[in-house]
Amino acid sequence: MTTYIVLLGPPGAGKGTQAEVISDSLKLAHISSGDIFRENLKNETELGKLAQGYMNRGELVPDDVTIAMIRERLTRPDCANGAVLDGFPRTPAQATALEGMLKELDGTVRSVPYINVPSEVLVARLSGRWTCQQGHVYHVVFNPPQVTGKCDVDGLELYQREDDQPATVERRIRVYLEQTSPLIEYYRERGLLREVDGTQAIDQVTADLLAAIQKG
């Protein structure tokens, strides 16, 4: 049985960090739409050039482009047992498209853990966030690396994402509230939503997420 988990939550809720640990622990692929876009940006692909403006402004990349990208990603061999989806879907149209894609793959969304963090906490978190090219994420106060400016996992230099600048952070939160938060109701109505308190310590959030997923 393939297992698809959709990790919901605002920007800065810790989706990337948690998706990494959860996918490892459940032996599932980790699909981060933001990481795929950033990889394409770095490699200056057509997709990267198309996405760049939207990303830098803190807006969503159009649905058709994003859906096609995830459709391709889901058919790769590492997704044979399923995947943890981090950052997708982000609009109702993407959620509907995902249902269709998974049907074709004989799968379905099994659980939708929702990492709940209030907006005022998000601004503080995002503006202190540093990351390495591989997508490992740190925070100057809440989750500092062992060596300043270096990733604990791979030793790579840490940098601040362009879209973690204060004005863009506010726009990303607004975009989330307008376009993505309707998915909370969408998945609640389907009986799949599992709410977790994202203001707790990182390890506690992980434990709660895994417990929520195990419960089904």
Q: Is residue 90 at the binding interface for ligand AMP, with CB under 6 A as the rule?
A: yes
How far CA 65 is from CA of 59, 61, 88, 89, in Å, comes to: 14, 7, 12, 13
Q: Is residue 113 at the binding interface for ligand AMP, with CB under 6 A as the rule?
A: no
Residue keyed to tokens 């959709």: 6
Tell me which of 57, 71, 150, 161 is the catalytic residue. Answer: 161
Q: Return the amino acid letter for 211.
A: A
**Of residues 62 and 147, the one with the C-beta less far from ligand AMP:** 62
Tell me which of 38, 73, 125, 172 is the catalytic residue. Answer: 172
Are residues 3 and 81 in contact, defined by beta-carbon separation less than 8 angstroms? yes
Dihedral over Cα of 199, 125, 188, 83: its sign: negative
**Count of chain residues binding ligand AMP (CB under 6 A):** 17
**Of residues 44 and 147, the one with the C-beta less far from ligand AMP:** 44
Q: Please, which of residues 3-62 interact with ligand AMP by CB under 6 A? A: 11, 33-34, 37, 54-55, 58-61
CB of 1 to ligand AMP, least distance (A): 25
**Of residues 93 and 210, the one with the C-beta less far from ligand AMP:** 93
CB of 97 to ligand AMP, least distance (A): 10
| Cα 158–chain centre separation | 19
**Of residues 67 and 196, the one with the C-beta less far from ligand AMP:** 67
Binding site for ligand AMP (CB under 6 A): 11, 33-34, 37, 54-55, 58-61, 66, 87-88, 90, 94, 163, 172
